[in-house]
Structure 1
């Protein structure tokens, strides 16, 4: 399945965008749970054009700079909504180098293990702070039909995930002192 296809269609269902704008979205809110590089985005835009799921218009910026402003077609909206309705099987647990290291951490001395855990703990605490700051833009939970509802749900999940990881890391520290 071309998941990037649906991420792009979803973005374009909000508003028309250039390829550059789409790329920026993957480094903002979407970047918290899905990433894509410009080298992936532009070939996917080409496929979406050939499938008639999107169209573009040329916009002139300045004297000669042309940029393509992409927008979703009715066919694209239909395809996107059908994808949204699909039930998805649970994904396999993502690979995580740190967890793999902890699995084999009995080969490490306690000081090295604690140093690795402390480093992870600091990173996750920083990420949690970042996510909580992003959540401050919501004074309340957006209504279920708001375009911000999905962002709120994913942001809430990310915060809870980071809190659980921090709790786990703190428990490793506690286990190590026994």
Structure 2
């Protein structure tokens, strides 16, 4: 699949089953998150910001290939523009540019929504996600060593962030 065959649109309620299926497939790899089970749609919906909340779809058939959404890192007003995001691509769409198209669209939508910092926590073993984020302008802020136990072992997390060009200009 080429990037030109991928479209990005706002996530809809009708996408719920596919979004959660893709989420669970990512969790099943053991390299995507400390979570082991995708939440219910009600839990997902309550935890994610309304904007941006995107899906990548096959431009020809409309099948959902991946999704991206963000969560506030803090309820404090000073951090209103700081968001931790998640991005998952269906296993059968991996390695075909879907993640790049989706993350680029998410970054643009986040900036239009007034978000000045995007954060991501990535396991250091997840080389594909690290490459994807670095290619989109994320930088490594640090390593959170032995931050949590996952499948019976301590895991590190690389903390990445991308600052908007508008940050600090207003």
Larger of the two Rg values belongs to structure: 1
Question: TM-score under structure 1 normalisation?
Answer: 0.27
Higher strand share: 2
Larger helix proportion of the pair: 1
